Amino acid sequence: MTPTHTIHGCNRRFCLAIVVLLLLAGRAPAAEVMLPGDEQEPFIRLAESLASSEEVKRLDFAWIAVSEMAREYETILQDSATAKPHKHSSRYKLARWRQATTGFVAELHWLRERVSYSGDIRVHVEAGQLVTLLVDNRPIVISGPEPSNSRLMQQRIFNTYCELYDCSDILDAPPAPTITVSQPGKGAWVLAQRRGARYQTPDGLTFLFSSLSDRATKEALCEQVATELRTLAATLREARAGGFELDWEKIAVQPLPNSGTSYLLLNGKGEYLRQSLPALERTQALSKGLLAWTRRMVEEQAPGTAVIQADQLLRPPTR
C-alpha cells in the first residue's frame, strides 16, 4: 500500500481537512455564483489544467471535490427525511431513493479515504462540460443531485481549491462577460432657501446636503453612488435571469475578506457575486429606500424615486 502523503510530518489528508475547514469558516459568504454565460467556465478550465498538473494538485482537488459531493448529497438526504408523500407509490420511491443515496454517500466517504492513499488520480473533461475523476481507474462524475446544486457545488470546489493554490491564470482568461449599464447622464444641483442643497439625477435619485460647501467632492460622491446603484440593478437583473434567488431583505454589499474588493450577497443561502461597489460598501449607503429604488429598476426596468440624507455618506461608517 502506498504510504499516506505527509506535510512536515503531518498526515496530508488530516492537514488538508483542517485547512479546508478553516477556509470555509473564515469565508463570509457561502458560495460565489456567476452570471449566465460564465458559470462553469472557471471550474472547467481548472479541471482541464489539472489533467497535466503535478500529482499533489490533483490529490487536493480530488479530496475537495469528493468532500463537497458528500456534503451535497448528505444535505439533500437530511432535507428529504421530513418528506411524507401521501401516495404509497411515492413513499416507496422515496424510500428506494434514500436507500440508494445513502449507499452512494458511503461510497463517497470510502473514495475520499482512498484518495489519500492512491498513487493514480486523474482528471478528465468530457465534451467540454463533464468533469470526471479517476481514482485508481475508478471513475466518478463531479455533479450534485440537481443541476442548480451542481453549479454551486462546483463553484465551492473552485473557491476552496483556489484558496490553496494560485488560480490567477484561470481567472484572468478569458474575461467574464460585461454587464451593460445604462447611464442617463449627470445630475444637477437644486438650491432652496433654508432647505440646504439637493443633487438630483435624471433617474430619480435625490441627495440631500445641509450646505453646498465642498461642492465638487459632494457631486463626485453622488455620481459614484448613482453609477454603482445602476450597476447593482443591472447585476441583480442578470442574476435573476440566471435563476438565482433574490431576497430583498438579505441583499447587501459587504467587503470580501483579504481581497480589497466587495461582494454582493443575494439571499439567505449565502450565495453571492464578487462585485466591486466601493462607494456603496464604504459608505453603507444601501438603505431600504435605495433597495426599493433598485428593486423597481430590476423588476420593472423603470426608475422610481429615492431620497438620500447624503451628509452621512461623507462620514466614515461605524462597523
- Residue 132 sits in which domain range? 6-172
Helix (H, G, I), strand (E, B) or coil at 30: coil
Given a contact cutoff of 8 angstroms between Cβ atoms, the answer to whether 311 and 210 are in contact is yes
pLDDT in the model for residue 186: 92
- CA–CA gap between residue 140 and residue 117 (Å, rounded): 17
Choose one of 172, 202, 229: the last residue of a domain. 172
139 beta partners: 134
pLDDT in the model for residue 137: 82
Both 157 and 32 in one domain: the answer is yes
DSSP state of 179: P
Q: Which three cell numbers stand for residue 56?
A: 499533489
Q: What pLDDT band is residue 9 in, cutting at 50, 70 and 90?
A: very low
240 beta partners: none
State the pairing for strand pair 306-309/205-209: parallel
pLDDT in the model for residue 188: 95
pLDDT in the model for residue 197: 92
Structural domains counted in the chain = 2
Both 192 and 298 in one domain: the answer is yes
Both 147 and 215 in one domain: the answer is no
Choose one of 146, 172, 198: the last residue of a domain. 172
pLDDT surpasses 80 at 25: no
| pLDDT, tens digit (0-9, with 9 covering 90-100), for 147-161 | 666 777 888 888 888
Q: Is residue 217 part of a domain?
A: yes
Both 52 and 92 in one domain: the answer is yes
Torsion 169-175-181-185 (CA) sign: positive
Q: Who has greater pLDDT, 308 or 257? A: 308
Q: Where are the alpha helices (DSSP H) in the chain?
A: 12-26, 41-50, 55-80, 88-117, 147-164, 168-172, 215-241, 278-283, 288-299
Q: Who has greater pLDDT, 65 or 269? A: 65
* Share above pLDDT 90 across residues of the chain, in percent, rounded to a whole number: 18
pLDDT in the model for residue 318: 57
Helix (H, G, I), strand (E, B) or coil at 188: strand
Q: Is residue 96 part of a domain?
A: yes
Average pLDDT, stretch 251-266?
76
Of the listed ranges 101-105, 182-186, 236-240, 265-269, the least confidently predicted one is 265-269
Q: Who has greater pLDDT, 314 or 177? A: 314
pLDDT surpasses 80 at 315: no
Both 232 and 87 in one domain: the answer is no
What's the 3-state SS for 149-169? HHHHHHHHHHHHHHHHCCCHH
pTM for the model stands at 0.54
pLDDT in the model for residue 142: 85
Both 139 and 238 in one domain: the answer is no
pLDDT in the model for residue 171: 63
Q: Is residue 11 part of a domain?
A: yes
Both 128 and 79 in one domain: the answer is yes
Given a contact cutoff of 8 angstroms between Cβ atoms, the answer to whether 85 and 94 are in contact is yes
pLDDT in the model for residue 295: 93
Torsion 170-174-175-177 (CA) sign: negative
Given a contact cutoff of 8 angstroms between Cβ atoms, the answer to whether 208 and 189 are in contact is no
Both 19 and 125 in one domain: the answer is yes
Both 223 and 268 in one domain: the answer is yes
Of the listed ranges 40-44, 188-192, 235-239, the least confidently predicted one is 40-44
Both 129 and 250 in one domain: the answer is no
Average pLDDT, stretch 282-286?
83
Given a contact cutoff of 8 angstroms between Cβ atoms, the answer to whether 129 and 44 are in contact is yes
pLDDT surpasses 50 at 6: no
Both 167 and 113 in one domain: the answer is yes
Average pLDDT, stretch 92-112?
85
Q: Is residue 181 part of a domain?
A: no
- CA–CA gap between residue 110 and residue 63 (Å, rounded): 11
Q: Which three cell numbers stand for residue 62?
A: 480530488
Q: Is residue 203 part of a domain?
A: yes
Q: Is residue 227 part of a domain?
A: yes
Half-sphere exposure of 250 (CA within 13 A, CB side): 13
pLDDT in the model for residue 127: 64
pLDDT in the model for residue 43: 85
pLDDT surpasses 60 at 2: no
| pLDDT, tens digit (0-9, with 9 covering 90-100), for 165-221 | 887 777 654 444 467 788 888 999 998 777 789 999 999 999 999 988 999 999 999
pLDDT in the model for residue 118: 67
pLDDT in the model for residue 176: 41
Given a contact cutoff of 8 angstroms between Cβ atoms, the answer to whether 69 and 77 are in contact is no
Both 258 and 212 in one domain: the answer is yes
